[in-house]
A and B are shown apart, each in its own frame.
Chain A
Amino acid sequence: MKDDVTREDRIGALGGMGCERKRVEDARFTQGQGNYLDDVKLPGMLFGDFVRSPYAHARIKSINTDAAMAIDGVIAVLTAEDLAPLNLHWMPTLAGDKQMVLADGKVLFQGQEVAFVVAEDRYIAADAVELVEVDYEEMPVITDPYEALTSDVVLREDLDPKADGAHGPRDHHNHIFKWEVGDETATNQVMDDAEVVAEETMYYHRTHPCPLETCGSVASMDKVNGKLTLWGTFQAPHVVRTVASLLSGIEEHNIRVIAPDIGGGFGNKVGVYPGYVCSIVASIVTGKPVKWVEDRMENLMSTAFARDYWMKGKISATKDGKITGLHCHVTADHGAFDACADPSKYPAGFMNICTGSYDIPTAYLGVDGVYTNKAPGGVSYRCSFRVTEAVYFIERMIEVLAIELDMDPAELRMKNFISKEQFPYQAPLGWEYDSGDYHTAWEKALETVDYKGLRAEQAQRIEDFKAGKTRKLMGIGLTFFTEIVGAGPVKNCDILGMGMFDSCEIRIHPTGSAIARLGTISQGQGHATTFAQILATEIGLPSDSITIEEGDTDTAPYGLGTYGSRSTPVAGAATALAGRKIRAKAQMIAAYLLEVHDDDVEFDVDRFVVKGAPEKFKTMKEIAYAAYNQAIPGVEPGLEAVSYYDPPNMTYPFGAYVCVMDIDVDTGVPEIRRFYALDDCGTRINPMIIEGQVHGGLTEALAVALGQEIAYDKLGNVKTGTLMDFFLPTAWEVPNYETDYTVTPSPHHPIGAKGVGESPHVGGVPCFSNAVHDAFKAFGLRQSHMPHDHWRIWKTANDLGLHD
């Protein structure tokens, strides 16, 4: 190496942590060379398509497949009757319940899978679906969880009404579980004694992650060697392999699960769907590869929804605004089967983070899960488990309390933040927050947006409105959120008994390049780029020389997948630690080559140098070569490492968001004038990618807050089944965002990173919603339910008498 190369040059050449490395994935994607599920094409492949129920609750009297089978090119039509002998007509859900793969005697939601047609191509399959005759007898439909809990109508006739569920006793035949955290008696006492108590009920509506690519799978059973290969849109390929093995009886080593490129997940691709199971069965039955890809309506109607939480809150405080207690009760509509994707011990996910960023001494949370005639699910749509709900709840309760106290909501937050000195902070509902500096972040946010100036402008606007000079109101939405991500410690987090660790395996090649494989799977987060950056910094080889591979269970080490912002906190840590194992061995090799003691060399960017003699060194590239071609006494050849990382704690990213919105009172049309997002995700691996994640998460937040919903009518018909009605904003409806940051590293994470992909969504939804509420606050609004689409905003204005 030439003398004029500085240490900074060497750091720069690595493309390691902290730099804005361009994404390596993009070469393929920008040239149309992605390889998504529907791009998988195998010789002789058949296509499967579902007959789905038009009714939300009905008895199936008969299914006649004769006409469908008569079409040329139709190979099979599977019904529950065909699956029953294999014991595959039902499947376990991730939440400890079970779910019909194909309707077994009755249907429980519109769009439920009734029969699976297998044909030579998708056109023939679609024709055959039309010809399957199903005789239904309609039954009473329940779409309201409160009604479900008092109704005589038994939705789940397969369950013993008196038997416990997966999470303990059930109160009613339509009740799934009761989950309680905290001390209710103490909390009630605090409420009784409090100087001020604010109460509110809020409905966090049902929505859907709706990634641009729908779900699908290709199953290929090779009967000669007994191996099943399953390609699919899986956010957790290893879990799918384990479930597939448990379900089918095929030994796990004979199953290879491959998640190819994934066209967005956002939680939608965590669960196991009937289509996956049917494609496997169909391949076993026909001996040919079988592809199943759902269309958009099927995706919105039948795969995992998100939210649908009725949240009742009480928050107490002293007269001067010091919060003393929080009480929360949730009625959770889980639909026809409890197919939530949460760690097993947490039937309401991490809803018990609902005390938020505030030092609240006493709190209680109770959640009742309920069956209704709606699609199953309850996934974390771009958030850690139920954290969006928790943050929405507390951030609305803070606003409501501010109204009750007649105090500025920014000041109320400032007054109650957990202070920097309190970390690690033991929250009243069980979590230990790792690190934070909320006051600094909040001050920075308020100063940057000129909060006082905005309030003055708003006051003027209200006067102008009252004077008839304008018909537009101005809302200032505030949110301070704390996420809980990186599930999670194996002692309390598992899915189907599998601990929620994650993994990384690294092989250094002789010429100084490397491949690393992880148990996670990117869906756009840029893992191939950022994990290589972590490794580059840890092992001193350029990120451009490191291939990152995920998604193939035959090659990748076991991991629990990508969701809940867990990739960086868990797999990122595994990557760093595996890298450190490589470095430890490299140190021994370097010392041998430099003829000094191991302790006499130290790592410096891309090399080991002799302490005190920087001119004596071996680069990592040289060390890699030596690992393979020199017999080093006491050291095995090769340079490889694997790390399984069981995190000691979750990580707790946080952020401060401000939204400025104008609302046309007469039409209900909101216009976002400004959105400022400050995120603290600890150590920043790639600022460009972080910023991109923030833009995306905020846009999904905008959609959810301002219109995106899965709506049902009273008969259980889905009213929002296409992208005409299911709101996905276009470039025209979306503003530019201002991003900012502070850095408070996680003390327990090897590189201090906390994860960021979901923070903007978690913080964004209440921020947009609070802006709508804030606009009408001066006219008496306390609470209006999301989504704040045009007519609901208009109705708010109308109810407040602003159209008179």
Chain B
Amino acid sequence: MIPAAFEYYRPKDMEGVLAILEEHGDDARVMAGGHSLIPMMKLRMAEVPHLIDLQDVEGLSGITVADTIRIGAMTTQNALINDAALEAAAPILKEAALQIADPQVRYMGTLGGNVANGDPGNDMPGLMQCLDATFHLVGPEGERDVSARDFYEAAYMTDREDEEVLTAVSFPAPQGGFAYEKQKRKIGDYATAAAAVQIVKDGGTCTGAQIAMTNLSDTPIYSEEASEALVGTSVDDAAIKAAIDAMLGDIDPTEDNRGPIAFKKHVAGVILRRAIERAWSRA
């Protein structure tokens, strides 16, 4: 598995990145850790005549924790796992990141790469939808923000223009209980089904819920109805069933080596139930 030849660029700043993107259009691509892109290039399933490595671009990594949490696109999964402030403020990130790939991949794989390339198997897009994150993009026309819930159009198709770069994500510090639940065949596999859940509890009542699913459609799925099915309830069995039913109406899994559609739907329900129960118990 040998990639085709390409021109390599390692600009020091975003102006440099944008200039190359403008010059080469969709012949150019930016690369963060490369752990999604490089295997595709080795299989010659992705053709990238001009490859822009973002590792030297200033200001793309780092985690800022306040009422709004901001994470630079080049922040690795490993950094997400080991940031104490982030763990205190938004522990779901660590829980999810630990379920991505394996240790070596997590040293290289970045949050930005994971959310930007549009692979429906990636875990962070669903999580970002759950957290109602905002993606910060920069392009020739300047900066713009897109909601994670509006960003994904189809597999590998996103709202990002070819000349734009995702620089950071931000989201309000999550409240309440959380869970990232994932079923996979083995370490290193994508999800058969995964669910990201945040729940706020007041007294015995759910006052807010956010539910997103991974690898069960050609995009991550934020299920508004499933979330709403929990609000105002005591998250009892009926409410969970309603949430699952609503979620099942939103997902559209396809058959693959992980199993047929009926199985995936069933497991999606089971995984969501477990995620809700765990999040509720932590709320």
Contact = CB atoms under 8 A, between A and B. Distances in A.
Interface of A: 122-123, 125-127, 130, 295-297, 666-669, 707, 711, 719-720, 723-725, 727, 729-730, 732-733, 789-791, 794-795, 798, 803
B5 A790 contact: no
B245 interface: no
Nearest to B257: A725
B186 A727 contact: yes
B4 A130 contact: yes
Interface string B180-205: 00010111111010000000000000
B6 interface: no
B88 interface: no
B267 interface: yes
Nearest to A471: B270
A126 B188 CA distance: 27
B278 to A, nearest CB: 15
B189 A724 contact: yes
B1 A789 contact: no
A123 B41 CA distance: 13
A791 B263 contact: yes
Contact of A790 (B2, B4, B44, B192): B192
B157 to A, nearest CB: 22
Contact of B259 (A125, A669, A733, A794): A794
B186 to A, nearest CB: 5
B4 A791 contact: no
Given A127-B4, A295-B1, A794-B263, A720 B257 contact: yes
B5 A791 contact: no
Contact of B257 (A123, A668, A711): A711
B266 interface: yes
B120 to A, nearest CB: 14
A297 B260 contact: no
B241 interface: no
Contacts of A125: 2
B7 to A, nearest CB: 16
A790 B1 contact: no
Given A707-B186, A725-B257, A729-B186, 15 more contacts: A122-B2, A126-B2, A127-B2, A130-B44, A296-B1, A297-B1, A666-B266, A667-B270, A668-B267, A724-B189, A727-B186, A790-B259, A790-B263, A791-B263, A795-B263
Interface of B: 1-2, 4-5, 44, 102, 183, 185-190, 192, 257-260, 262-263, 266-267, 270-271
11 contacts: A125-B2, A130-B4, A130-B44, A719-B257, A723-B188, A730-B187, A732-B186, A790-B258, A791-B260, A794-B267, A803-B266
B258 A791 contact: yes
A794 B266 contact: yes
A724 B102 CA distance: 12
A652 B142 CA distance: 75
B258 A127 contact: no
A667 B183 contact: yes
Q: Which of A125, A724, A789, A791 has the most CB atoms of chain B within a 10 A radius of its CB? A: A791
B183 A669 contact: yes
Contacts of B188: 723-724, 730
Nearest to B270: A666
Nearest to B1: A295
A570 to B, nearest CB: 37
Contacts of A123: 2, 5
Contacts of B1: 295-297
Contact of B186 (A295, A296, A666, A730): A730
Contacts of B44: 130
Contacts of B187: 730, 732-733
Contacts of B266: 666, 794, 798, 803
A202 B156 CA distance: 41
Nearest to A792: B259
B6 to A, nearest CB: 12
Nearest to A732: B187
Contacts of B102: 730
A784 B259 CA distance: 16
Contacts of A724: 188-190
A789 B5 contact: no
Q: Which of A297, A669, A711 has the most CB atoms of chain B within a 10 A radius of its CB? A: A669
A500 to B, nearest CB: 37
Contacts of A719: 257
A563 B187 CA distance: 30
B239 to A, nearest CB: 19
A669 B102 CA distance: 20
B267 A733 contact: no
Contacts of A130: 4, 44
Given A727-B185, A727-B186, A789-B185, A127 B5 contact: yes
Contacts of A667: 183, 267, 270-271
**For the complex of A and B, 6 pairs with smallest distance between CB atoms:** A791-B259, A126-B2, A791-B263, A666-B270, A730-B187, A725-B257
A733 B266 CA distance: 23
Q: Which of B183, B190, B260, B263 has the most CB atoms of chain A within a 10 A radius of its CB? A: B263
Nearest to A719: B257
A668 to B, nearest CB: 8
A798 B270 CA distance: 14
Contacts of B189: 724
A292 to B, nearest CB: 14
Nearest to A797: B266
B245 to A, nearest CB: 15
A707 B4 contact: no
Contacts of A729: 186
A304 B183 CA distance: 32
A50 B263 CA distance: 39
Nearest to A803: B266
A790 B185 contact: yes
A64 B258 CA distance: 39
A784 B233 CA distance: 42
Nearest to A725: B257
A126 B2 CA distance: 6
Nearest to B102: A730
Contacts of B190: 724
Contacts of A669: 183
Q: Which of B2, B102, B188, B262 has the most CB atoms of chain A within a 10 A radius of its CB? A: B2
A719 B185 CA distance: 16
Contacts of B257: 711, 719-720, 725
A577 B1 CA distance: 48
A720 to B, nearest CB: 6
Contacts of A122: 2
Nearest to A721: B43
Contacts of A127: 2, 4-5
Given A790-B259, A794-B267, A733 B186 contact: yes
Contacts of B263: 668, 790-791, 794-795, 798
A51 to B, nearest CB: 13
Nearest to B259: A791
Contacts of A723: 188
Nearest to B189: A724
B29 to A, nearest CB: 19
